[in-house]
């Protein structure tokens, strides 16, 4: 009986190794604005995250929206604890100028999922953040098709 179990487990374990389950995801570098915003958040708190992320890009009427989203970060901190870091999930290239960036803001007791849209004109060297959304539920931020690929064809 033990021989049969061993003969079954060896091919199954080989299948997991070859399909990428045992491998880590590819390394994705965050956009400079997102990396700087995470550093500012870790060093100076929630109030520093969005101003650093958008870095002088906000229109005058967007201050209320920024305040509301900063309040969301503070609420998350009350439940999940202190912010501890940033993890990249994936980047989708929509076009040469536009990318959708999925990330996780890590807290002591849980993740906050986020997505930004970046836009870059060829004549300019820096990217602009043109969209931003965060949520505690992964399905509200990361498309299910992308989640289905986590650990499989994204690895290597």
Structural domain boundaries in the chain? 28-149
What is the per-residue pLDDT across 64-104, written as a single tens digit (0 to 9) for each?
778 888 999 999 999 999 999 999 999 999 998 999 999 99
Tokens of 52: 């650093």
DSSP string, 93-136: E-SSSEEEEEEEEEETTEEEEEEEEEE--TT-SS-EEEEEEEES
Confidence class for position 13, pLDDT limits 50, 70, 90: very low
Tell me if the domain spanning 28-149 has CATH number 3.10.450: yes
Within its chain, how far is the Cα of 135 from the centroid?
11
Burial (CB count within 10 angstroms: exposed 0-12, middle 13-18, buried 19+), residue 12: exposed
């Amino acid at each position: 009986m033990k021989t049969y179990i061993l003969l079954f487990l060896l091919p199954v374990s080989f299948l997991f190794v070859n399909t990428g389950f045992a491998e880590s995801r590819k390394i994705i570098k965050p956009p400079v604005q997102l990396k700087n915003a995470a550093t500012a958040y870790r060093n100076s708190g929630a109030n520093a995250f969005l101003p650093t992320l958008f870095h002088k890009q906000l229109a005058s009427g967007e201050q209320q929206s920024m305040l509301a989203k900063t309040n969301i970060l503070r609420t998350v901190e009350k439940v999940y604890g202190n912010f501890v870091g940033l993890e990249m999930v994936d980047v989708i290239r929509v076009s040469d100028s536009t990318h959708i960036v999925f990330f996780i803001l890590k807290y002591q007791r849980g993740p906050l999922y986020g997505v930004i849209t970046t836009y870059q004109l060829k004549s300019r060297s820096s990217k602009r953040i043109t969209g931003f959304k965060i949520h505690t539920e992964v399905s509200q931020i990361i498309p299910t098709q992308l989640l289905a690929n986590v650990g499989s064809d994204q690895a290597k």
